[in-house]
Chain A
Amino acid sequence: MPKVQTNGNELNVGLTDKEIEQIKDELKRDPSITEWGMFDVMLSEHCSYKSSRPKLKLFEDAEKNYDYVLAGPGQDAGVIDIGDNYALAFRIESHNHPSAIEPYHGAATGIGGIIRDILCMGARPIALLDPLRFGPLKNNPHSQWLFKYVVKGIADYGNCTGIPTIGGEVEFDKSFESNCLVNVACIGLGTIEDFNHAPSRAYNPRDYIILMGGSTGRDGIHGVTFASRTLTEMSEADRPAVQIGDPFTKKLIIEATLEAIKTGHIRGLKDLGGGGLSCALSELTGDGGTGASVDMGKIFIREPGMNSFEVMLSESQERMAFIVKPEGLEEVLNVFRKFEMAHAVIGRTDDTKILKVYDGNNLVVNLPANALSDPPTIPRKEKRPDFLDDLLSQKTPKALRKLDDIIYELIASENICSKEWIYRQYDHEVGIRSVLKCGEGDSGVLRVIGTNKFISSSVGTNSKHCFLDPYNGSKGGIVEICGNVIANGAKPKAMVNCCNFGNPEIPESFWYFSESVKGMADFCREMRIPIVGGNVSFYNEDEVAKTVIKPTPVIMIVGIIEGEENIITLPFKDVGNDVLLIGDTQAELGGSEYHSIIYDMEGGTPPKVNEKKIKLIWDFLFELYEKNLVKSNHDVNKGGFIITIAEMCFKNNIGANLDLSSFKEEGLKDDELLFSESTGRFVIETSKLDYDTIMDLSRKFKISVKRIGTTQMEPLIHLKGLKTTNFTLNLKKMKQLYDSTIPNLMDK
């Protein structure tokens, strides 16, 4: 790691030699030690996106191309106009590195950070969703420890702040064993005026800068530079770089901030997250075209003797910076006094375009504001990994076991089984908006009180598919998550993503990122889905174990449902109805749970995505919804459609009599038919009386719809029409396996 020296002080920095030269050239002097620290943080991958920015340019400009997008990438959160004078803000972020070292506080402060991002947009946070990834739990105390405390960290923080956790995703895979992934997403709701009052910029000189919330301590110094490295044996020693969360203070910050915004005197707003004050002040002024002068002595610190380096780089949690009109200062301070929140006027903006920080009479920071907020990028090399050809050519072994045994094993597997153990620990109802609660649908559905609108949101991706084909796999992730909201009746409105990848300095890892971004960009452009924000987490590698995570571009979609009557749910409703499979099933077992669980193999041919077909399926479904023809809907993903059907049976204990003989001409083997994870498919329940109407429509939309069975009273799933065998599955046994896997691993 390079060292820099100033006035006899020495500092290890994560900067490259080239960056060090560039900084000296621009300033025409040696920076102070505090300034070096600020550059180190601001130019870290985590803050500057120096590797990823050139690729992220592939995403089309959401603000320019979609009239309902109010804020796009580059802001603290994406914001869309959902009508009725409401704006919806949402964002997803990673907190992987801290959680891998200290799962409880790592996850908790991840929630804390994402809440602040939403709050910055002037919106009340109304929902959390958490996509999580760990190593397999079975016989793995380390994975169990991470899993248990990540869930507890999320629960304790989210529950206390009164924000319901309405959804999430969990995947268990060996590649996440030492690098668990903790992604956190938040949705906020506000009026259009609230949003307009809260830019994350300081546009006006002579405004006051107020710091409000928690005190500034020595915790979390250099958290972002820690997140911009791979994990090593030294990482345990980085534990002090993990911040400590305080959800009580956060709850008060939420209320105090929202009340302060209502005064109309706030002109800018920024949370202190990664990079602390350095980041917040330079972004506020640098992006706003102003400068500022800050008195370090005014900043309330947690312990005596902190120097300017520590104060500027501290990532202590629960802090917000406000830019306040001079005439409104007293009124805003009164709000903070009511909530008994610590606060201080730490400086004022000016028109110098220079950020100055004084420690007493000493000028300790004197930098052009945009020197920090507009860092250079680094072009990275990319190379397709050599091992891929071997993986893609792997063939599925001959079936070793009976198909029914395989299905029982799949439904009990960690990735497919019920996640109730997790969501029971989350308050998913506080706020009284949760209409479809955890486990009741493919997405979480919230009402917007006072309107007839409903918000549907889901998160996730398929890292196994992405590992084999990042371009199609990333598209497939969007298809699946859009499928979740569509299954509940919502039109996908916008997307954010959280790209979790390996070390960008390694060409193979960067290739995965590059292909994934290309896939997402192509898909969203074709399907007219704006990408309104995102987060990139690189360096998810463990140098000691020599493992890289599977590429994980997590997708978050928000959709809107107009009218309660248009909400569709997952469980079968009645007996004697048709069970229809929508979309093509192909021989695409590569990266399937079937391969992974039954044969412990990762290769094969993964699913491809054809946007044109997907588009037709979605249009077809909305036509069916319009005509009120769908009684229940569930999208097909992990484990294939047989798992989808079992999940639809569980809630009302309704069975299904399936006949798959109509697949005869597709030439699929039995396991391909049952377990392929071909994208864009749905299982719907419809009335027999509507069959002809539905088939006419399927021909009009030129999509594949097959009647594969009928719902029945008997709590069994009968399967016939396969090539090799007929068999019957017992719902009670399936449900028992589905429900008990995680409790058995975690509570016994």
Chain B
Amino acid sequence: MSIKIAVIEFPASNCDLDALHVLNNVLNVEASLVWHNQFKEKDYDGAVLPGGFSFGDYLRAGIIAAHSPAIDEARIMLKDGRPIIGICNGFQILTEAQFLPGALLRNESLKFICKWVNLRIENNKTAFTNRMKIGDIIDIPIAHGEGRYFTDKLKELVDNDQIVFRYIDEKGIAASDANPNGSMDNIAGVCNLEGNCLGLMPHPERASESILSPKGTTHGKLIFESMIDFIKRRRK
């Protein structure tokens, strides 16, 4: 049976077609674009909340989408143990929906930033990092104006192993000049306690084909491959 993944399209999602392309044409699974209020969790093995500016980022990035019926469906999906990944604006939606801890604030520079960064894998037990090793470095781009991760429960996150990615420099150190947006503790991505919900600011769908990568890498693909492996293992 083929693996079915929903790419949930909110008004003004704009990385939806990009994620769809990578899932369908690079990972060869059966992904479909689903308009947010038509999403039914029972039809899918997992879901992607793509990047973009859902509802124009009005009020606060991700907050309006967090009240879409799609979020109620997503809650059921997560409870059932199926994986959901939120990329960039998708991450903002997941924190606003309180599926993930913390919040994403305006970048420290107050400017939108589009560039390639290095991430270090901090937890490889999640549904999205099982293909990697702790300490692995991946090459991936960011593009956001509100990506400064903040939490008032940092110690809890560390204790529960919920920090999945940190921004690091080329030597692998989470230094302050490797931190593009002022995120607390260089955090680039976090997961829920169960490890089946991941939010990250960088864009794995932009780093899944070597032609798009300045260094010719395809590290973003590992995240989707891990997700697919996780789905396959769940089925056994």
Contacts and interface: CB of A to CB of B under 8 A. Distances in A.
Interface string B1-42: 000000000011011011001100000000000010000000
Interface string A211-231: 000000000000000000000
B111 A425 contact: yes
Interface in B180-219: 203, 205-206, 209, 211-212, 214
A564 B56 contact: no
Contact of A162 (B15, B58, B114): B15
A432 B214 CA distance: 13
A429 B206 contact: yes
Interface SS of chain B = mixed
A278 to B, nearest CB: 29
B62 interface: no
Given A251-B12, A252-B11, A447-B211, A427 B114 contact: yes
A251 B53 contact: yes
A426 B51 CA distance: 15
Contacts of B112: 155-156, 159, 424-427
A434 B17 CA distance: 15
A7 B212 CA distance: 64
Interface residues of B, number: 32
A429 B142 CA distance: 9
A432 B57 contact: no
Contacts of A340: 11
A246 B56 contact: yes
B147 interface: no
A353 interface: no
Interface in A399-438: 423-432, 434-435, 437
A697 interface: no
A430 B15 contact: yes
Contacts of A247: 12, 53, 56
Given A429-B212, A432-B18, A424 B115 contact: yes
A475 to B, nearest CB: 35
Interface string A143-186: 00000000000011001111000000000000000000000000
A520 B17 CA distance: 39
A374 B99 CA distance: 59
Contact of A425 (B12, B51, B55, B113): B113
Contact of A160 (B18, B57, B214): B57
A427 B18 contact: no
Contact of A248 (B55, B205, B211): B55
Contacts of A426: 112, 114
Contacts of A428: 114
B52 interface: yes
B86 interface: no
Contacts of B53: 159-160, 162, 247-248, 251
Nearest to A151: B111
A161 B57 CA distance: 12
B83 interface: no
Contacts of B141: 429
Contact of A440 (B55, B58, B203, B214): B214
Contacts of B115: 424
Contact of A424 (B22, B35, B57, B113): B113
A456 to B, nearest CB: 15
A338 B35 contact: yes
Given A248-B55, A430-B143, A425 B114 contact: yes
A249 B141 CA distance: 27
Contacts of A564: 211
B143 A435 contact: no
Given A248-B55, A437-B214, A430 B113 contact: no
Contacts of B113: 424-425
A429 B214 contact: no
A269 to B, nearest CB: 21
Interface string A660-675: 0000000000000000
Contacts of A159: 53, 112, 143, 145
Interface in B104-124: 109, 111-115
Interface in A447-486: 447, 449
A430 B16 CA distance: 10
Contact of B12 (A156, A252, A423, A437): A252
B73 to A, nearest CB: 18
Most chain A CB atoms below 10 A, which of B11, B35, B114, B209: B114
The 5 closest A-B CB pairs, nearest first, are A162-B14, A248-B56, A251-B12, A160-B53, A427-B143
Given A424-B112, A424-B115, 8 more contacts: A159-B53, A160-B53, A248-B11, A426-B114, A429-B143, A429-B212, A432-B212, A435-B212
5 contacts: A160-B56, A162-B52, A247-B53, A429-B114, A434-B212
Interface of B: 11-12, 14-15, 17-18, 21-22, 35, 51-53, 55-58, 109, 111-115, 141, 143, 145, 203, 205-206, 209, 211-212, 214
